[in-house]
Chains A and B, each alone.
Chain A
Amino acid sequence: MSHSTDRIHPAAKMHATEYQAGKISRREFLTRATALGVSATAAYGLIGAAAPAHAEQHTMDGGTLRIQMEVRALKDPRVTDWPQIANIYRGWLEYLTEYQADGTIRPMLLESYEVSDDATTYTLKLREGITWNNGDAFTAEHVAHNFRRWCEKGVEGNSMASRMGDMVDPDSGTIKEGILDVQDDLTLVINLTSPDIALMASVSDYPGALVHPSYDGGDMTSGAGLIGTGPYTLEDLSVGVKTVLVKNADHQWWGAEAEGFGGASLERIEYIDYGTDPAAWLAAIESEEVDMLYESVGEFIEIMDSLDLVKSETITASTIVIRCNQEAEVNGEKPYADVRVRKALQMAVDNSVLLELGYSGLGEVAENHHVCPIHPEYAEVDNPVVYDPEGAMALLEEAGMADYEHELVSIDDDWRKNTTDACAAQLRDAGIRVNRSILPGNTFWNDWAKFPFSSTDWNQRPLGVQTLSLAYRSGEAWNECAYANPEFDAKLSEAMGIADADERRVIMKEIEQLMIDDGVIIQPYWRSIYRHYTQHVTGAEVHPLYEIPQYKLGLSA
């Protein structure tokens, strides 16, 4: 790997000791160490392991790969709300860092980065010799420009603003003065006002693609929207039908030479939209109209296993959350403002049953606090929710809500619907009255955060604190539970300032317990995700964040 830094973060060394003592898993170690700026190779070195040599499959040069994926209209990357959209512009727009399937974060457009021990100063070093496909050299000023864009809170739907945390000035809705310091063409120093341990992970997320300074937030399919650093360019985009990426012949892609990258062997990549019905995806791969699926879900996984296909699997921190909106009013009252009601709902549900019935057991049982065992700061809680239907009913009676009929809303799809159905069935078994509503996708997303009682799917984020700050902090846009607990907020802000995951775990344990005690969510399981593709496709392993880095794809010779 060309990414190198002589300085190894002291916490990383400490983690290495922990790993050797058997206190943390290898995956956890890798996420933590790389988040602190240690290269993956060095991180493997710290624990006396060799970095895995990526299996050298013989890929041929050129060829066309057809992928089944929803084709949505492109948007300004920072407001992008679907990984599928990013998987199109990922062909020409690239990221500062890359979150890899094994939990490590590796620099991409960056050569390396260093984090100060208190996680307030980040020194970003850009890779040398990167050019945009219009010929401009890629400089630290461009990176600063993107940070400024990400911090524009006033832009409707800009989700990067919430990932930038304290960099955003709450009054002006733009980046605070003095945060960015462009030292030379290849060095950018970021001086945060409060520690943020997740910054390098945040910028690897799909809305974090770097755009050219001349891009003004308009059309992505022409002009400045197509200026990027990546190896491909857009040939055609027909929303809902098909989109075609072709190798950008006029552009010298930096990754061709960079160690650890390379590839981009395909001449042409076609994304074909087969709608949202998994049966249609099956039909597509069975009829040999596509070579690779975006995702295999539910019962179709088994059917596809029986075909002559390669199956790729990864465990994720993606999940479904069945939550009460604490502020929601139903017939003039707030049924879920009472913690006893929320606790009762939690206690009436056996999470393992939901995993079995809702997701065919394709995952891990979760503990109602939205921090996944693969997150580095995960802590086991002392008082988890205990399945107790009788106790639940007793609590409801105490709260005077025993006769209340709950309306449980879900989207009309495969696993989310089934899981919510299973939840409703369990609540009914406990004697709680439940009325199920199933809404089509567009109607559902219209009000997703406002339903009094509903299920929502959440994709994974590399660190546990990230999801918590996005979804459960008071007043956050995506806080669908309307959870507002100053104690939780304070503890979370404190946790977000602790670069060392072990120290963070101490407070994380309290945060997790708080989530459970406040009965915020029923979170039944963590999903594993799957993908099937034909034998001759290479580099198409499913990514926990659904990323499809085109440069890795190929066809075997």
Chain B
Amino acid sequence: MGLFLLRRLGVMILTALCLTFVVFFLTNLSPNLEKLAKTQGNMRMTDDEVVSWLENRGYDRNVFARYGEWLGVVPGYVVEQPGGFRGRCFGEADEVPPGASTFCGVVQGNWGFSSVFREEVGSIIATRLGLTAKLMGFVMLLMVPAALIIGVLAGMREGSRLDRGLSSVSIVSTATPEYVSGVIFITVFASSAVGLRWFKGTATGAMENATFENFALPVLTIALYGIGYIARMTRASMAEVMTQQYIRTARLKGVSFPKVVLKHALRNALIAPFTVIMLQFPWLLNGVVIVETLFNYKGFGWTLVQAASNNDIELLLAVSVVSVFVVLVTQLISDIGYVWLNPRISVT
């Protein structure tokens, strides 16, 4: 088990390194740097101004050296400019401060500075991830029980009217992307166009104070897609288990149907949905991009959009690292959970 975890950790670090380098390379292509200069300086800067802006901030050097700088294994740049110095590790100063460190990268715990939000990347990620966690928490609370109940009810009697009905519902819900369901929800339940106005069409207020009124629609929009998907998985798995010999034996022994479902079938039927549920976490993390943008809820997905559209290099890198971490950790949990649910499987 220990070796398994260690191996997984190694894979995680390697993946993160590869991915961040790819992101780093792409964000440092010269048109992207020009975009950065213009969004940070003045949108209508001339080409010469862009070049001098980039030089003054150390963007004109080798991409490998700069990646190493970000990692913290290459010394940070120091540029002399009219009226003082500018360095990665100390910002702007008249003189290079004597106490300034040479290395300041991820290894030293410095995740850098977001050029668009003008804030430490670490604190942005913490706030935005917290907000998305709140959204995801409510989504999970709604999605998992609802999906399991629908799946189990549909799968326990394959082909019954209940099965057909619930299956249709879940196919429809999983076939509707968020950008469709979200817009329909807003139109029907939040706008004066239909006039119901039960909920609010924006979740901006929910960041500080989440209420049923302002949080229901985004939560429902995300959950609905997942509910259908997980319910289909649960149903398939449940239907398969219900045809097993031991279920028939239990039935023939005179065990009541509800008892057969709950005691004998459920645990075995949950193995497949469990993986799917764990895979929903990374999916939610980035899948919320649409919903967060639609409802103006400023979480992790929104941050990703902002970072990408403004070519905010260090923020994008941190977002990638977090994503790698979440994907691999949830996979790890799902592997361990597998073992727990099914003793026949072993991680080693």
Q: In whole angstroms, what is the CA distance A157 to B100 when docked?
A: 30
Whether, in the assembled complex, B205 has its beta carbon less than 8 Å from a beta carbon of chain A, the answer is: yes
A353 interfacial contact with B, CB 8 Å: no
A19 on the B face (CB < 8 A): no
Contacts of B161 in A (CB 8 A): none
- Name which residue of chain B comes closest to A446, CB basis: B35
B204 touches A272 (CB 8 A): yes
- State how many residues of chain B have any CB contact under 8 Å with chain A: 41
Given contacts A156-B49, A239-B116, A307-B192, are A275 and B293 in contact (CB under 8 A)? yes
List A271-293 residues whose CB lies under 8 Å from chain B. 272-275, 280, 282-284, 286-287, 289
Q: Which of A79, A441, A442 has the most CB of B within 10 A?
A: A442
CB <8 Å contact, B186 and A283: yes
Please tell me if the beta carbons of B44 and A306 are within 8 angstroms of each other in the complex. Answer: no
- Is A254 part of the contact surface with B, judged by Cβ < 8 Å? no
Q: Which residues does chain B contribute within 8 Å of A449, judged by CB atoms?
A: 44
Interface string of A137-156 (1 = CB under 8 A from B): 00000000000000000001
| Nearest A residue to B302, CB-CB | A240
**0 or 1 for each of B133-156: is its CB under 8 Å from A? (1 = yes):** 000000000000000000000000
Q: Cβ of A81 and Cβ of B192 under 8 Å apart? A: no
Chain B, residues 180-217, CB within 8 Å of chain A (1/0): the string is 00000010001111000100111011010000001000
Residues of A within 8 A of B201 (CB): 282-283, 286-287
Within 8 Å CB of B66, what residues of A? none
- Quick check: B43 and A445 within 8 Å, CB to CB? yes
Is B337 among interface residues, defined by CB-CB distance under 8 A? no
Q: A440's closest neighbor in chain B, by CB?
A: B309
Expressed in whole angstroms, the Cα–Cα distance for A214 and B118 within the complex equals: 22
Considering only residues 225-241 of chain A, those with a C-beta below 8 Å from chain B are 238-241
Closest residue of chain B to A274 (Cβ to Cβ) is B296
**Minimum C-beta distance from A384 to chain B (A):** 30
B190–A286 touching, CB < 8 Å: yes
Return chain B residues, CB-CB under 8 Å to A44: none
Given contacts A239-B118, A445-B38, contact A287 B309 (CB under 8 A): no
| Residues in A neighbouring B298, C-beta threshold 8 A | 240-241
B296 touches A81 (CB 8 A): no
Instruction: A183 to B192: give the CA distance in the assembly, Å.
Output: 61
Tell whether A239 pairs with B117 under 8 Å between CB atoms, given A287-B202, A289-B200. Answer: yes
A contact residues around B348 at 8 Å (CB): none
Contacting B at CB under 8 A, from A205-254, are: 218, 221, 238-241
Among B41, B43, B202, B306, which residue has its beta carbon within 8 angstroms of that of A289? B202
The answer to whether A157 and B39 have CB atoms under 8 Å apart is no
Query: In the assembled complex, which residues on chain B have CB atoms less than 8 Å from the CB atom of A221?
Result: 118
Q: Which of A157, A272, A283, A442 makes the CB contact (< 8 A) with B42?
A: A157
Beta-carbon contact of B116 and A157 below 8 Å:
no
Question: Within 8 Å of chain A (Cβ to Cβ): is B62?
Answer: no
- Tell whether B45 is near chain A: CB-to-CB under 8 Å: yes
Residues of A contacting B296 with CB < 8 Å?
A: 273-275, 280, 283-284
Closest Cβ of chain A to B281, distance in Å, is: 25
Question: CA separation between A241 and B296, bound complex, in Å?
Answer: 9
C-alpha spacing A282/B207, complex, angstroms: 19
A477 contacts B204, C-beta separation under 8 Å:
no
Chain A 76-103 interface mask (CB, 8 Å, partner B; 1/0): 0001011000000000000000000000
A214 → chain B closest CB, angstroms: 15
Which residues of B sit under 8 angstroms from A275, Cβ to Cβ? 293, 296
A157 and B41 in contact, given A280-B296, A286-B192, A289-B202 (Cβ under 8 angstroms): yes
Q: Which of B91-125 contact A (CB under 8 A)?
A: 92, 116-119
A73 within 8 Å of B (CB atoms): yes
Compute how far the CA of A449 lies from the CA of B49 in the bound complex, rounded to whole angstroms: 14
CA distance A221 to B119 in the complex (A): 12
Max chain A CB contacts within 10 Å: which of B42, B118, B192, B197?
A: B42
* Given A275-B293, A287-B214, A156 and B202 contact (CB-CB distance below 8 Å): no
Query: For A306, what are the chain B residues with a Cβ–Cβ distance below 8 Å?
Result: 192
B310 CB–A CB distance under 8 Å: yes
- Distance (whole angstroms) from the CB of B26 to the closest CB of chain A: 14
List 10 A-B pairs, Cβ < 8 Å: A73-B116, A79-B41, A238-B119, A274-B296, A282-B201, A283-B201, A287-B205, A442-B310, A449-B44, A478-B44
Beyond the given A239-B118, A287-B190, A446-B35, could you list 12 further A-B residue pairs with CB under 8 A, ordered by the A residue number?
A75-B42, A79-B41, A157-B44, A158-B42, A275-B293, A283-B200, A283-B201, A284-B296, A286-B191, A286-B197, A445-B39, A477-B44
- 8 A-B pairs with the lowest CB-CB distances in the bound complex, closest first: A157-B42, A283-B201, A287-B200, A156-B49, A283-B202, A81-B43, A239-B117, A157-B41
